[in-house]
Amino acid sequence: MARESDMLRGVAVGAGSAILALGVGEFLGVALADASLVASVGDVAVDLAPGWLVRRTIGILGVAQKPVLLTGIVCVAVVLGGWVGSRGTSGRIALGLAGLLGALAVLRSGAGYYLSGTHPDDMDDRSVDDLAFEIVSDVREGIDGTGVRAGVIGEIGCTYPWLPNEKKSLRAAVAAQVETGAPLMVHPGRDPMSPVEIAEIVDSEGGDLSRTTICHIDRTCTDRSWLADMAATGCYLEYDLFGNESSWYPPNPAVDMPSDAERMDVILWHFEHGLEGQVLLSHDIATKHRLHAYGGLGYDHLVTNVVPRLRRRGLSEADVRTLIVDNPARIFAFTTGQ
C-alpha cells in the first residue's frame, strides 16, 4: 500500500515537473532565441516524419493538424514526466535526453548577419569590431547568452551590387573566422562578380579561403572558366539547390536555373579537373513545398535520388564519399584559431 502511494506521488511530482519544465522552456525559448520550444520540436517532428504519415494526418485533420501535434507533444512530455517519477534514475536520463533534443530543435543556428533587409535597426552604427565581437561570442560562449555555441559563421548575406552594411558584416565575419577557426559560409549576390568580390575581401582581410564556402553556386554562375577561377581561390563551391527542378528562378529571371541533371554535369566536371575536394552538395530547403509532406523531394533527396544517379554516371564509392562525407567533415571542423 505504502509503495503504491509512493509511486502515485512520484507520478504526480514527475508530471508536475514536466509541466513546469515545459513552461520554463517556452519562456526561455521565446526570450532568448525568439522560438517556441514546443513548436520547434513540432517542426523537427514534421521534418523527420515520413511524408505519407504527414500527408495522411493533414488529410484527416486539415488545419487542426498543428494544434493536435503541439498538444500531443505536451501530452507526451507530461506522460514522460509521470513515468520518470515512477522509474527513478533511468526515467530521469530519458527525460534529460528528451530535453536535450528539444534544446537542439530550438537552437540550430549559425552566427553573423544575413541580407541587409534582415539587419537590425542599429546596423548603420555598428562597427566591424563590434560585430566581430558578437560573432566570436556566439561561437565561443553561446548565441544570445544561451550557452549554445554556433558551429558555423553564416550564411553571411551579400547582395549585388554590394551594400555597405553587408560588406561590413562580411569583414566582421572574416575577423571572427580568423579568431575562432570556425568555418565561414557566404550567400553571394546574384551575379558572377559577387563571389569574386567576396573572395577578394576574405583574402584582403586575412581570412582563410580554404575555410570559406560560397553558397548557391548553381543560381549564380556555372560557366566553367568562371568556376575554374573561383576554385583557384581555394574556396568551397556549394551546389545547394538540388531538388529545385524549375528553370524559372523568380529572384533573378535572367538566370536559367539548372536542373539536377545539369548540376550533376558540373559535379562531374569538378572530378574531371581534380577540383572535387572543394565541392559541397545541399538542398537549401527554406519553403514548405520542398518538403515531402507538401509534394517536395525532401531532405533525403541527395542520398535517396542524386547519389545513385551520380554512381550510374560513373562515380566510385570513394568519389561519393568525398562529396557527402569527407568534404563536409573537413569544412565543418574547426581549426585552432587565434
Q: Footprint of Zn ion on this chain (CB under 5 A)?
A: 155, 187
**Are the C-beta atoms of 110 and 150 separated by less than 8 Å?**
yes
Question: Which residue number is nearest to Zn ion in terms of Cβ?
Answer: 187
Query: Count of CB atoms within 10 A of residue 328's CB?
Result: 16
DSSP string, 254-323: TS-PPPHHHHHHHHHHHHHTT-GGGEEE-----SGGGSGGGTS--TTHIIIIIHHHHHHTT--HHHHHII
Burial of 120 from C-beta contacts in 10 A (0-12 / 13-18 / 19+) = exposed
| Amino acid present at 1 | M
Using left for φ > 0, alpha for ψ between -120 and 50, and beta otherwise, residue 306 falls in alpha
Q: Which residue, 149 or 190, is less far from Zn ion as judged by CB?
A: 190
Name the grid cell of 319.
568519389
Q: Which residue, 107 or 285, is less far from Zn ion as judged by CB?
A: 285
Q: Give the CA radius of gyration of the chain.
A: 23
The CA distance from 313 to 81, in Å, is 52
Q: Which residue, 38 or 302, is less far from Zn ion as judged by CB?
A: 302
Q: Give the nearest distance from C-beta 187 to Zn ion in angstroms.
A: 3
Q: Which residue, 239 or 271, is less far from Zn ion as judged by CB?
A: 239
The CA distance from 178 to 167, in Å, is 17
Q: Which residue, 155 or 260, is less far from Zn ion as judged by CB?
A: 155
Q: Give the nearest distance from C-beta 312 to Zn ion in angstroms.
A: 30
Q: Which residue, 134 or 238, is less far from Zn ion as judged by CB?
A: 238
Torsion over CA of 116, 227, 260 and 110, rounded to 10 degrees? -40
Q: Which residue, 138 or 155, is less far from Zn ion as judged by CB?
A: 155
